[in-house]
Amino acid sequence: MQQNQELYFIVIIGILLGLLLVSFIIGTLILYRRRQQKQDQEMARVKDMYEKEVLHSQLEIQENAFRSISQELHDNIGQLLSVVKLSLSTLPLEKDHKAAPLVSHSQKVLNKAIIDLSNITKSLYTDRITDLGLAESISYELLAVKNTGMYETEFTVTGDEFRLPEKTEIFLFRMFQEMLNNIIKHSAATHIMVSLTYHPDGIFVMSVEDNGKGFDVEQVRSSLSSGKGVGLKSMFNRAKLMGAELKVVSNFNKGTRLEVKFISNL
């Protein structure tokens, strides 16, 4: 009887100790996993912040580089071309001189170069974008494309236009330039439609559509090749950085539509 009682006592103590041990181990493992998840989230947040910071710096450097190039083109190359143009126009040549047609042709080519240079300077110059506004800058850029005679362009602005933050306008314009560049380089499109929609509640939507050959968006986005999809990735990065949403819909032989949605704190 006494022995049985002792045995029960040991068994009960054993079960209690076992339960205590198991609950300690399980509790520790659960707490550890939670702590680990929390740390992973924190790491992801820091990494995201770091990436944004790096991207921000890269874009700032890019904008500064654009500004310097634009300044240099305008002040240096532009001036030199103007001097050459002036010199050519003051050449004492008779109409029937055998060099006259050649000089006339050179003047035409020079004029074209000066106009092209001026366009490049304007599109690179950041301050001009903020001075003119996004809609005006886009319309100017589209006109230049239309003037090549290779594309039909359509530009619509819906709603009461409001100004977006300076940096956002620059980012949106650079995204638009990238979209336009992609259409010209890859799409084989003939028609480009651009629309800007200003909603009264501060929502701004920019969409760029073409009737080109289209592409596989996911394949390009996930491409590991260093050269492939850089423009698209850069657009997504810019959108992420300014807190905008970028949607890309593309159908083979039916065209591509890119839409940027940004909510402004009016």
Interface residues with other proteins (CB under 8 A) are 3, 6-7, 9-10, 13-14, 17-18, 20-21, 24-25, 28-29, 31-33, 35-36, 39
Residue among 236, 234, 218 at smallest CA distance from 226:
234
Nearer to other proteins, 22 or 109 (CB): 22
Q: Alpha carbon 124 to chain centroid distance?
A: 15
Q: Minimum Å distance from CB 21 to other proteins?
A: 5
Nearer to other proteins, 39 or 181 (CB): 39
Nearer to other proteins, 10 or 99 (CB): 10
Q: Minimum Å distance from CB 53 to other proteins?
A: 24
Q: Minimum Å distance from CB 1 to other proteins?
A: 13
In DSSP terms, 153 is beta-bridged to 192
Q: Minimum Å distance from CB 36 to other proteins?
A: 4
Q: Minimum Å distance from CB 222 to other proteins?
A: 24
Tell me the C-alpha distance between 128 and 132, whole Å. Answer: 6
Nearer to other proteins, 6 or 75 (CB): 6
Nearer to other proteins, 34 or 112 (CB): 34
